Structure 1
Amino acid sequence: MPFTIQEKPDGLTFKIRVQPRSSRNQVAGIYGDALKINLTAPPVDNAANKACGAFLAKLLSVPKSSVTIVSGHTGRNKQVMVRCPKSGGGRDFIKKAIMAWVSA
């Protein structure tokens, strides 16, 4: 199944695969139907989840509070929601930025 971004009333959701304890924070391409993200944070005490939200928020130029892990809090496979309004063009910008990571 290919990588997809789902539109919800309050934002966009997509799947990620997190690799904690990496040498640097980076988007590392596609892993199955998910976006692979390498993080330097360890997978203990919610550190990797917090680092993941902060990293994605920085890349997408949105507040940290706009990025939420919807499911997969204790595993490597997660579903993320980026809260953004349908109007104003912000949603299109975020979709294009995410798809640029997929094709890179």
Structure 2
Amino acid sequence: MAAKKRQKVDVPVATPRKSTSDAFFYWDADTLVLNILGKPSAKQDVIGKVKGNQLKISVTAAPVAAKATEHMVRFLAKEFGVAYADIEVVFGHMNVNKQLRIKSPKRLPSVITQSVSA
């Protein structure tokens, strides 16, 4: 029996717009990877400014049993025009430092569009 010859396939790889070590976001194909600094128990839900390599997101929910993270994901789903299920919390369910993966966002907040053009 002859051995099958493996074929080399070139897979396109998304290149981040900035280095992932100093950017608060990068693209992985059509998925936006976002580093978050969360602020629970805020007066209003709002996307804030960039702080180092994180984007500050304030939410009104209290930090009890990861409810603030769940509320944040629901808020961001509306802001990015995606379904709740299209956002994955990679780490930080019960921490202010989080990383989210947002599949095929339909809209981008101005803080991201300004960073892309800069």
Identify the TM-score tier after normalising by the shorter chain. 0.7 to 0.9
2:45 corresponds to which residue? 25
**Structure 1 portions without partners, runs of 5+:** 85-90
Aligned residues of 1:3 and 1:35 also touching (Cα < 8 A):
no
Tell me the CA shift for residue 65 of structure 1: 0.7
RMSD over equivalenced CA pairs, Å: 2.1
**For 1:92-103, what aligned pairs fall within 5 Å after superposition?**
94=107, 97-98=108-109, 100-102=110-112, 103=114
Aligned residue number for residue 11 of structure 2: none
**Which whole-Å CA distance do the structure 2 matches of 1:5 and 1:38 have between them?**
17
1:59 aligned partner: 79
CA shift, 1:67, in A, is 1.1
Instruction: Work out which of the two has the higher radius of gyration on C-alpha atoms and give 1 or 2.
Output: 2
**Larger relative CO (CA 8 A, sep 6+): 1 or 2?**
1
For each residue in 1:13-42, what CA deviation from the matched residue of structure 2 results, as whole angstroms up to 9, or x when unmatched? 110100000000001111211110010001
| Shift, 1:9, TM fit | 4.3
Which structure has greater helix proportion?
1
User: Where in structure 2 are the equivalents of 1:1-104 lying within 5 Å?
Assistant: 2-9=22-29, 11-84=31-104, 94=107, 97-98=108-109, 100-102=110-112, 103=114
The count of aligned residue pairs is 94
Which position in structure 1 is the counterpart of 2:3? Answer: none
Q: Which runs of 4+ in 1 moved over 6 A?
A: none
Q: For 2:71 and 2:87, how far apart are their aligned partners in 1?
A: 11
Identity %: 26
